[in-house]
């Protein structure tokens, strides 16, 4: 796997300027970027944060040095499985795992479930069955506005969140994050609440009209650089309706067809 030069430069930048900062997970040579609010890792799970957030850059550096490809990552049910940001928790089923009730065994989080649903609609026009595996990591990259973590956004320490967002405003402006043709910012009102200038960071312009779908909404931004780019700013996706997911997928399909974008 040949990692993009922008990605290699990002690894070097983070290592030198903000060691331990989160880069993201999934396929860095893909054409679709998901941006969420922050990692849904309970504060008490220190080892999980260390593995998935603080060591993220080091793990990517190792992947690059070893030339690791998606096919090299073992599924989580294998004996020698190790977490890898190139394909995190490979082997999860297309169902929502609920820790309290133990429903959806071998499933994924509600957010990743929705990312998968959106990806499937964009590419195949239909969703998977619950016996299928999560595979959107093969085709998309995802990151967060903030690397301050908690199980629920409402529990995140406000000071930690503010500090993280202020740091990551500059990080998300890196050329690597600009190279994606389709960008889904599923972050709700975080930009307004935390003074995040989407247009400046992602070199885009809001079309000026909010599209309302029941209780939910999305805004469409277009590229200011001359290179085709579709940026959709919308609700955090974990609890949104199928109608919203379908509308967003329709906009992505229209864009893909219009500009002959390969996904």
Tell me the domains of the chain and their CATH numbers: 27-42+103-259 (3.40.470)
pLDDT reported for residue 21: 94
- pLDDT score, position 156: 87
pLDDT digits (tens, 9 = 90+) for 67-119: 999 999 999 999 999 999 999 999 999 999 887 656 667 899 999 999 999 99
Q: What is the per-residue pLDDT for 101? A: 59
Range 33-40 average pLDDT:
95
- Average pLDDT on 171-198 reads 97
Picking from 147, 174, 175, 180, the residue whose alpha carbon sits closest to that of residue 56 is 147
Cα 253 to the center of its chain, rounded Å:
19
3-state DSSP call for residue 13? Answer: helix
Torsion of CA 86, 92, 96, 99, to 10 degrees: -100
Q: Taken in order 11, 68, 38, 51, is the CA torsion positive or negative?
A: negative
Q: Which residues pair with 34 in a beta bridge?
A: 142, 184
Strand ranges (E), 88-181: 141-144
CB 31 within 8 A of CB 176: no
CB contact at 8 A, 120 and 106: no
Cα 75 to Cα 56, 92, 220: the distances in Å are 19, 8, 36
Residue 248 · residue 186 · CB < 8 Å? no
State whether the Cα torsion 156-154-167-1 is positive or negative.
positive
Q: How many residues does the chain have?
A: 263
Give per-residue pLDDT as tens, 120-159. Answer: 999 999 999 988 999 999 999 999 999 998 887 888 888 9
pLDDT of 225 over the 80 cut = yes
Contacts of 135 (CB under 8 A, 6+ apart): 116
pLDDT of residue 255 exceeding 70: yes
Instruction: Please tell me the predicted confidence (pLDDT) of residue 104.
Output: 64
Maximum Cα–Cα distance across the chain: 52
Question: What number of other Cβ atoms are within 10 A of residue 256's Cβ?
Answer: 20
Q: 119, exposed or middle or buried, with CB in 10 Å at 0-12, 13-18, 19+?
A: buried
Per-residue model confidence (pLDDT) at position 102 = 61
d(CA 167, CA 162) in angstroms, rounded, equals: 9
């Amino acid at each position: 796997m040949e990692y993009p030069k922008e990605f290699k430069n990002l690894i070097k930048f983070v290592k030198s300027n903000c060691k331990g900062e989160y880069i993201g997970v999934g396929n860095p040579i893909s054409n679709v970027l998901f941006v969420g609010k922050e990692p849904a890792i309970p504060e008490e799970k220190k080892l999980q944060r260390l593995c998935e957030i603080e060591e993220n850059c080091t793990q990517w550096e190792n992947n690059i040095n070893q030339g690791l490809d998606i096919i090299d990552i073992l599924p989580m049910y294998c004996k020698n499985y190790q977490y890898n940001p190139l394909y995190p928790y490979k082997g999860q089923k297309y169902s929502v795992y609920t820790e309290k009730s133990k429903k959806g065994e071998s499933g994924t989080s509600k957010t990743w479930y929705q990312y998968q649903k959106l990806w499937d609609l964009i590419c195949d026009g239909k969703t998977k069955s619950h016996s299928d595996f999560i595979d959107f990591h093969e085709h998309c990259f995802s990151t967060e506005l903030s690397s301050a973590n908690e199980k629920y956004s409402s529990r995140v320490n406000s000071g930690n969140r503010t500090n993280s967002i202020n740091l990551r405003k500059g990080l998300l402006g890196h050329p690597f994050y600009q190279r994606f043709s389709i960008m889904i910012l599923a972050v709700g009102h975080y930009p307004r609440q935390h003074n995040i200038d989407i247009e400046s960071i992602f070199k885009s312009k809001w079309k000026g009209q909010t599209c309302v779908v029941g209780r939910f909404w999305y805004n469409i931004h277009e590229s200011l650089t001359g290179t085709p780019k579709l940026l959709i700013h919308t609700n955090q996706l974990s609890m949104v309706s199928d109608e919203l997911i379908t509308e967003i997928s329709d906009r992505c399909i229209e864009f893909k067809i219009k500009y002959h974008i390969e996904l």
